[in-house]
Each structure stands twice: as structure tokens, then as C-alpha cells.
DNA sequence: CACACATTATTTGTATACAAATAATGTGTG
DNA sequence: CACACATTATTTGTATACAAATAATGTGTG
């Protein structure tokens, strides 16, 4: 490999960095980072999950989840409640404030997604999605 | 966007994470991280560059470059020398130890690249590269 | 049932990454 | 030439991300 611009790891990192910055800018008005957004997103789908479930879905280390939850809790968007069935576990619940953000934050991130998609043909965008899914989430298909 | 798995930012992040881990594992025997590797790679192409040139090429903030250089310097792989033409600047030079790593490290990262490519057809892999370049480095073509 | 082993969350340490501020030095316009 | 503005590297602070260690609790096999 003569040029770093031929290294897939490098290219993926830079593409991620760019899209992450677009999302960060879009979410800045709510004081939320992209990672905090995706964690909230999983809770909007299903409230009251365990930390380890969130980490599994988001492919994040437990230590990382702890930190993200700390910040979301400090902002008053989520709440840790003890799991009555397993005292090792907390269940993570959205606060009303956390629930309110679903619609507006999905709107601004949808705009970013459309911006990304608009750089390619529909066919290319779909292929990109399936290739990234295969690379990052292990399988070609959906989960 | 109903599922985070449809969010390009998320997919890019996870694909990057996976490939980064593969590279990290391959480079671990040399005690080098993927980011340190790409910085060294730019120096192998041309020794004696300024920090700001490295940051421009790698799309990294000056503060990030400072940190990466600190660690590479501590490991004895690079050296900061004053620029006689501009006293604001250091020029970054490879040490003999830093030069030695070029061949072996390129070999192990080439293996990772081939692993990534092998997941797709040649046509798909080329399209992926051009799409990531367009997304992350601004233009479709090469620089 | 006891106890080795597993699971869950957290803490600590290291490495990116960027924003904002700072200090030193260059450059360009009147 | 002076001085506002730009450039370069660094420092400080915040936010991921993971590895390794720890503490508390569960689970399964003899």
C-alpha cells in the first residue's frame, strides 16, 4: 500500500469523522452528541433496557456505556432504576425530557442522512449501506 | 429513521471500529496503534514534514497531532527538529528505528486490507473506496 | 447446597479527536 | 516600518472507546 488514501481503515475513519461532524452540528442545538443520540434512539424503541443490552446493540464496551449514561443522567434525560429481578443490573428509563427529544432529534438527523444519500445514486447508497452493515455489524442483512 | 442500523453515521462508525480493531491487532506486535501507523506512513513517503502538513493530510486537529507525535517521540520512532526558516515550526523526522518499521508494518496492514477487500467483489470494493473517499476526503477522485 | 465460573456495572488508565485559549512567530497592508 | 491579522504548536477540558481490574451478584454442576 503506497498511499494511506488506499487504506480502508483510514478511509472509513475519515468518512465517519465527516458524517459524525455533520450530525454533531445538527444535534448541537440540543446539547447532545451523536453517540448520546444513538443511545437515546435505542431507548425510544424500547424503554427500560439493561446497560448490557444497550452495549450489545450499539457495539459499545460496558465502560463506554457507563460514561455515556452518566452524562445523559446528569442532563436529566435518562434515569437508572434498580432491576428487582437482578441486583447486579440497572434498568435505564427515559425521563419525560428524554422522551420529548425523539421527534425533533430524529428530524435533524434524518436531514443529515438525506445529505449523505444525496451524494450517491439510490443504488449506490443501498450498496454502501449493505457493505457497511456487513463490515461493521457482522452480517450482510438486517438484524 | 426507525432503526439506528439505517443511520449512515452509525454504520460508518461501526465499520470503522471493526477495521480499526483488525489493524490494531495486526500492529500490536510492534506496540503501535493504527493512528500512529498512518502518521508514520506519511513520513515514510516524505521525511521532515511540518506538524501542520501531517494534520492536513490526515485530517487531524493540531492538538491530536501533538499527542500522537509525543507518543511516537517517546517510543523513539520520530524526532522533532527546529525549522531554521520558521521558528514557530518543528520538522518531524523519522529515527532509524522509525524507518525500519516501514516494511513489516506495511506487510501486516496490507493483510488487513486484503481481508476487507475479500468480503466484496472487486467492483464493489472499488466502489466502496470511491464512496468513502468522496465522503471523507471531499472529492471523488484522488488527491 | 457449595463453589467454581459467569455476568453486570463500575473504576482506572491509555489513546484518539476536537474546541477554545495561549504563546510565539510571520505576513501583508497602509 | 508598524501593527492588525494569520499561522503554528501547545495546553486544557470534554467526550468517546477499549483493556484490565474490581466488586457485587447469579448460575450451574457435582
Whether B141 shows a pLDDT value over 80: the answer reads no
Percent of chain B with pLDDT over 70: 97
A75 touches chain B (CB under 8 A): no
Question: Considering only residues 81 to 140 of chain A, which have any Cβ-Cβ distance to chain B shorter than 8 Å?
Answer: 106, 109-110, 112-113, 116-117, 119-120, 124, 127-129, 131-137
Q: What is the pLDDT of residue A24?
A: 95
pLDDT in tens, A96-106: 999 999 999 99
Q: What is the pLDDT of residue A139?
A: 59
Cα–Cα distance for residue pair B20/A70, rounded to 1 Å: 26
Cα–Cα distance for residue pair B55/B119, rounded to 1 Å: 31
Across all residues in chain B, what is the average pLDDT? 93
Whether A94 shows a pLDDT value over 70: the answer reads yes
Domain B4-137 fold:
Arc Repressor Mutant, subunit A (1.10.10)
Q: Which nucleotides of D are covered by protein (CB under 7 A)?
A: 7-13, 15-21, 23-27
Query: 3-state class of B50 per DSSP?
Result: strand
B25 touches chain A (CB under 8 A): no
For chain A, the 3-state helix, strand and coil shares in percent, each to the nearest 5, are: 65, 10, 25
**Which of A10-14, A76-80, B99-103, B137-141 has the weakest average pLDDT?**
B137-141
Whether B143 shows a pLDDT value over 70: the answer reads no
Asked if the Cβ–Cβ distance from A106 to B34 is below 8 Å, we say no
Q: What is the pLDDT of residue B138?
A: 80
Q: How confident is the model at residue A138 (pLDDT cuts 50, 70, 90)?
A: confident
CA of A85 to C1' of C18 (A): 42
Q: Mean of the pLDDT values across residues A12-27?
A: 95
Nucleotide nearest to B80 (CA to C1'): D9
Contact between the CB of B112 and strand C at under 7 Å: no
What are the chain B neighbours of A4 within 8 Å (beta carbons)?
38, 41-42, 57-58
Confirm or reject CATH 1.10.10.10 for domain A17-137, answering yes or no.
yes
pLDDT in tens, A23-35: 999 999 999 999 9
Contact between the CB of A39 and strand C at under 7 Å: no
Looking at chain B, which residue has its C-alpha nearest residue A21? Answer: B9
Strands laid side by side in the A78-82 sheet: A49-50, A90-94, A78-82
Q: Mean of the pLDDT values across residues A66-82?
A: 96
Cα–Cα distance for residue pair B96/B94, rounded to 1 Å: 7
Q: Mean of the pLDDT values across residues B85-109?
A: 95
Cα–Cα distance for residue pair B77/B70, rounded to 1 Å: 10
pLDDT in tens, B47-59: 999 999 999 999 9
Whether A143 shows a pLDDT value over 60: the answer reads no
What are the chain A neighbours of B134 within 8 Å (beta carbons)?
119
| Cα-Cα-Cα-Cα dihedral sign, residues A65, B9, A47, A75 | positive
Amino acid at each position: 500500500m503506497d498511499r494511506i488514501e488506499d487504506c480502508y481503515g483510514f478511509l472509513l475513519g475519515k468518512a465517519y469523522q465527516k458524517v459524525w461532524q455533520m450530525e454533531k452540528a445538527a444535534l448541537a442545538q440540543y446539547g447532545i452528541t451523536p453517540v448520546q443520540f444513538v443511545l437515546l434512539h435505542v431507548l425510544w424503541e424500547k424503554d427500560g433496557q439493561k446497560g448490557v443490552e444497550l452495549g450489545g446493540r450499539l457495539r459499545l464496551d460496558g465502560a463506554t456505556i457507563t460514561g455515556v449514561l452518566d452524562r445523559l443522567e446528569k442532563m436529566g434525560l435518562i434515569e437508572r432504576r434498580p432491576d428487582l429481578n437482578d441486583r447486579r443490573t440497572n434498568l435505564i428509563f427515559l425521563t419525560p425530557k428524554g422522551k420529548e427529544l425523539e421527534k425533533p432529534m430524529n428530524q435533524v438527523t434524518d436531514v443529515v442522512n438525506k445529505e449523505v444519500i444525496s451524494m450517491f445514486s439510490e443504488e449506490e447508497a443501498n450498496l454502501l449501506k449493505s457493505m457497511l452493515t456487513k463490515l461493521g455489524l457482522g452480517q450482510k442483512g438486517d438484524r
